């Protein structure tokens, strides 16, 4: 556990907001980090690991057309994942990730280490692109840390 998870919890408690996650390539790491904080049940409602496209569509609400047009690893899918899971989990803020952890699955356009993080909250739905250079485990952990960092930044930008 790092101070980042605790800071997020403090921000969420202070602002009386709830958080959820929908994870693909991180496979539950974001949720694991958030719930490492004692008392996180006060603000963290849960997560969905939507590793397959089928779950992204059937449970989260990602459009099949979006997957067909842009692929699962895209800013569009990250945003649809965050917005869809925000509704499914009934939370104020939801974070999402989709990426290619590696070493397989990469293409010339989408290399190993490419991740998109999505966030949906009171100020709208957004995505960020990240390109990590580690092995599979390092890339997954880097993506989870990037997601937590962005949650903290997002929370600090919200009005009281």
CA distances from residue 107 to 1, 62, 73, 156 in whole angstroms, order as listed: 34, 22, 11, 36
Q: What are the domain boundaries of the chain?
A: 3-157
Measured between alpha carbons, how far is 106 from 127 in angstroms, rounded to an integer? 20
3-state secondary structure at position 133? coil
pLDDT of residue 160: 53
Phi and psi dihedrals of 4, rounded to 5? -60, -45
Q: Is the pLDDT of residue 145 over 90?
A: yes
Please give the angle made by the CA atoms of 87, 81 and 6, to the nearest 5 degrees.
80
Q: Which CATH number, 3.40.50.300, 3.90.950.20, 3.40.50.460, 1.10.3720.10, labels domain 3-157?
A: 3.90.950.20
Measured between alpha carbons, how far is 138 from 75 in angstroms, rounded to an integer? 21
3-state secondary structure at position 48? strand
* Secondary structure tally for the chain: helices H, strands E: 6, 5
- The per-residue pLDDT for range 96-118, each reduced to its tens digit, is 999 999 999 999 999 999 999 99
Q: Is the pLDDT of residue 1 over 60?
A: no
pTM for the model stands at: 0.96
Tokens of 12: 């969420």
């Amino acid at each position: 556990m790092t101070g980042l998870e605790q800071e997020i919890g403090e921000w969420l408690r202070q602002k009386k907001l709830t958080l959820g996650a929908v994870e693909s390539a991180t496979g539950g790491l974001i949720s694991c980090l958030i719930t490492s904080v004692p008392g996180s049940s006060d603000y963290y409602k849960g997560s969905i690991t939507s590793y397959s496209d089928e779950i992204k569509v059937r449970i989260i609400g990602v459009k099949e057309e979006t997957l067909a047009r842009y692929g699962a690893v895209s800013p569009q899918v990250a945003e649809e994942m965050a917005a869809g899971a925000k509704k499914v989990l009934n939370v104020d803020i939801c974070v999402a990730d989709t990426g290619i952890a590696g070493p397989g699955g990469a293409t010339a356009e989408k290399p190993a280490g490419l991740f998109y993080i999505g966030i949906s909250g009171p100020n709208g739905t957004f995505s960020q692109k990240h390109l990590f250079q580690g092995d599979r485990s390092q890339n997954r952990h880097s993506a989870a840390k990037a997601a937590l960092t962005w949650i903290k930044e997002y929370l600090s930008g919200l009005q009281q």
